[in-house]
């Protein structure tokens, strides 16, 4: 499988991709999480908003910041339909309330872009006591996506196979660690060798994003829904606001190519709207970087791990989901 535009690369912008796939955006209901000023979410909103979606639903923790982005999109695209939703992914109560509001707004969701992410240096927890990065980056989006499954399936029934999509943002950092099932909450419990991160870097939320994508791809195939996981590239965004000087120095050395937010959003829009990506023949071929398919670490596409993670996630949100 390949994308329809092999010339797209790390320099391609979300604006360019949206223009290219204008007919695939027009008339769709699109949800973006993690939307604030000068962010990837804003770049996505501006690019998608320029191509006449039916409804653009912007969700993030701080409603006033989302409103700033909505105002910017409206100014550039008069007449566009935009809804602003308060969504705190570190609170399952907030997630359920946000999903309920969206269910009241639209009966179908054509495109869900789970873009929000959090990075913390010290161990923190969500309202439910789940380690913050895992609880927000994965568990939060896991619950949000599953609560909107009826709307996603409605969209799939009304459109062509594979045009309804769930895009989960991850990063190349998924290579740092498999899922620590024996100590997912980072409480210092002993873990078996196959769950220990190479180099001792203990973080696994980005691996979880890909495994969730693998699970969705397998179990939603009959419904005509596809899912992709995307590494947007190296971008200086609010995600790095929690880093100290040493952390910023380390981050600055992790990539030779630093992207603008508009460039960072490009791969997400390829995953969301490229008409060539309507079917996934191999559940492990669901990861894109620099607007093209890329290889993942083996632990991120292991189907047994994906099934196990889904069951653990159901336990942590207290709800069973039958896809």
* Domain architecture of the chain: domains with CATH: 14-317 (3.40.50.720)
pLDDT single digits (tens) 1-21? 899 999 999 999 999 999 999
Strands 287-289 and 292-293: antiparallel
Instruction: Please choose, from the candidates 108, 42, 34, 102, the residue with its C-alpha nearest in 3D space to the C-alpha of residue 70.
Output: 42
The residue to which tokens 């099934």 are assigned: 307
Q: What pLDDT score was predicted for residue 101?
A: 98
Q: What pLDDT score was predicted for residue 245?
A: 45
Q: What pLDDT score was predicted for residue 257?
A: 66
For the stretch 70-104, what's the b/e string if a residue is b when 16 or more beta carbons lie within 10 angstroms of its beta carbon?
beebeeebeebbbbbbebbbbbbebbeebbebbee
pLDDT single digits (tens) 57-95? 999 999 999 999 999 999 999 999 999 999 999 999 999
Kindly report the backbone phi and psi dihedral angles of residue 279, in degrees, each rounded to the nearest multiple of 5, phi listed first: -140, 140
- Give the DSSP H or E segment for 86: strand 82-86
Tell me which residues of the chain have a pLDDT lower than 50.
Answer: 238-255
- Using only C-alpha atoms, the chain has a radius of gyration, in whole angstroms, of 18
Q: Is the pTM of this model over 0.85?
A: yes
Q: What pLDDT score was predicted for residue 240?
A: 45
Q: What pLDDT score was predicted for residue 41?
A: 96
Q: What pLDDT score was predicted for residue 196?
A: 82
CA distance to 36, 67, 271, per residue, from 17 (Å): 21, 25, 10
Instruction: Please choose, from the candidates 267, 259, 255, 209, the residue with its C-alpha nearest in 3D space to the C-alpha of residue 237.
Output: 259
Q: What pLDDT score was predicted for residue 198?
A: 67
């Amino acid at each position: 499988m390949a994308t329809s535009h092999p010339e797209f690369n790390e320099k391609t912008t979300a604006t360019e991709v949206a223009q290219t796939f204008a007919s695939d955006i027009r008339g769709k209901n699109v949800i973006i999480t993690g939307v604030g000023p000068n962010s990837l979410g804003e770049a996505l909103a501006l690019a998608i908003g320029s191509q006449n979606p039916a409804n653009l639903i912007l969700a993030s923790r701080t409603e006033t910041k989302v409103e700033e982005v909505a105002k910017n999109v409206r100014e550039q695209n008069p007449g566009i339909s935009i809804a602003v939703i308060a969504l705190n992914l570190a609170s399952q109560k907030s997630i359920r309330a946000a999903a309920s509001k969206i269910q009241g707004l639209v009966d179908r969701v054509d495109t869900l872009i789970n873009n929000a992410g959090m990075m913390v240096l010290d161990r923190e927890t969500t309202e439910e006591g789940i380690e913050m990065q895992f609880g927000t980056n994965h568990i939060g989006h896991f619950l949000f996506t599953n609560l909107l499954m009826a709307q996603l399936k409605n969209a799939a029934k009304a459109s062509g196979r594979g045009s309804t999509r769930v895009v989960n943002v991850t990063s190349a950092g998924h290579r740092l660690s498999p899922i620590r099932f024996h100590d997912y909450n980072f409480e210092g419990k002993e873990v078996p060798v196959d769950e220990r991160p190479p180099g001792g870097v203990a973080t696994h939320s980005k691996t979880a994003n890909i495994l969730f994508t693998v699970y969705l791809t397998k179990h939603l195939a009959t419904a005509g829904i596809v899912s992709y996981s995307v590494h947007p590239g190296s971008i200086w965004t609010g995600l790095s606001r929690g880093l100290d000087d040493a952390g910023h120095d380390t981050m600055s050395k992790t990539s030779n190519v630093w992207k603008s937010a508009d460039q960072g959003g490009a791969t997400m829009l390829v995953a969301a709207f490229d008409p060539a990506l309507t079917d996934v023949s191999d559940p492990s071929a669901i990861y894109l970087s620099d607007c093209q398919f890329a290889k993942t670490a083996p632990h991120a596409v292991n189907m047994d791990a994906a099934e196990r993670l889904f069951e653990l996630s159901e336990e942590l949100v207290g709800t069973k989901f039958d896809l």
